[in-house]
Structure 1
Amino acid sequence: MPNLLFVCSKNQWRSPTAKDLFKNHARHQARSAGTSDKARIKINQKLIEWADVIFVMERRHKELIKQRFPAVIKAKPLLVLDIEDNYQYGDTELIEILKDCLSEYL
């Protein structure tokens, strides 16, 4: 069962919404984290090691992760979803965008 990690800045809107799409999923487990010092759950080495695939909302999240965890991240797919910080948690438009971006995993 592949582990999916979703990352945004503060881990309060985009990445938790993405994680929640995978609640009780038959094939995947999902967690979420943020890159900011103010994130509810901060990205860390343990989460990166847990993940089989890492999805970030913006390119800057990818760069931050590559800088902070260069040794751990080399063997992991790190995919940019290109979803700007324009949505609240559970926003229906955000959910539709995520479903479209993640269709092969859902």
Structure 2
Amino acid sequence: MLTPLTHELVSWADIIFVMERRTAPKASLRKARVICLDIPDDYEFMDPGLMRLLEARVSKYLG
């Protein structure tokens, strides 16, 4: 189930990660940078392969 992003949910964010471009927010966000990780949403919740992939792709943005 997708939870739509609202102003309240992202007002504190500097970076928003999405797995697929189709899930990126459509509205312009003044503060937050949106980064698409280009990971298909084909994984089960907490799948070990997904966790490794997320860690590898997100870590370069978080320093």
* TM-score interval, smaller chain: 0.7 to 0.9
CA RMSD of aligned residues (A): 1.8
Identical columns (%): 34
Q: Distance in 2 between the 1:85 and 1:78 partners?
A: 17
Match of 1:90 in 2: 46
Partner SS state of residue 79, structure 1: strand
C-alpha displacement of 1:47 = 1.1
Runs of 4+ displaced beyond 2 Å: none
Q: Distance in 2 between the 1:96 and 1:57 partners?
A: 14
Structure 1 unaligned residues grouped into runs of 5+: 1-9, 11-33
Matches within 5 A, 1:54-93: 54-62=16-24, 65-66=25-26, 69-70=27-28, 73-93=29-49
Partner SS state of residue 11, structure 2: helix
Count of residues in correspondence between the two structures: 62
Structure with greater strand share of residues: 1
Structure 2 unaligned residues grouped into runs of 5+: none
Match of 1:22 in 2: none
Q: Distance in 2 between the 1:81 and 1:44 partners?
A: 20
